[in-house]
Amino acid sequence: MDALILQTAASGAPVTAVAGTFALFALFLSLTAHIAVRNVFGDVERKKAFAVGPVPAAIAVVFTSFGWNSFVALALAIGSDFVLVKYLYGRSTRLTAYAVFIHFVVTIILGVILFGLLVLLTSAPI
């Protein structure tokens, strides 16, 4: 709940801040899902990745906004990612689990790189 209070104090519009966070995170997760699934399954449709990203993003935003346990959120997000990839791409359970693992790894690597670049750019002297 503290994150929601801080966003209200900083911007005055918590709904806009939460919606923007959700939208950017969903887009980021859709991009990393497409990268991961394409590397595991080969050539796949781009539009299917846009169905994978919003669900884990919604779970992350809701759990963060209410201050609930982050480990439960992570498990729920990975589980929902598995179910969506399995349903949308129709591959075996083992191959789907591998794709979800690669999605997790790609998300961490790309997130660390982008966050590092953001920190470098914002801390650079003018």
Neighbours of 40 (CB within 10 A): 19
Q: What is the pTM of this model?
A: 0.83
Domain ranges, ordered by start, for the chain: 2-123
5 Cβ contact partners less than 8 Å away, ≥ 6 residues apart? none
CB half-sphere exposure, 60, CA atoms < 13 A: 18
Q: Report the pLDDT value the prediction gives residue 79, as an integer from 0 to 100.
A: 96
Report the distance separating Cα 30 and Cα 14, nearest Å.
24
Report the distance separating Cα 124 and Cα 86, nearest Å.
44
Predicted confidence pLDDT, tens digits, the chain (126 residues)? 545 555 555 555 777 888 888 999 999 999 999 999 999 988 888 888 899 999 999 999 999 888 999 999 999 999 999 999 999 998 999 999 999 999 999 999 999 999 999 999 998 887
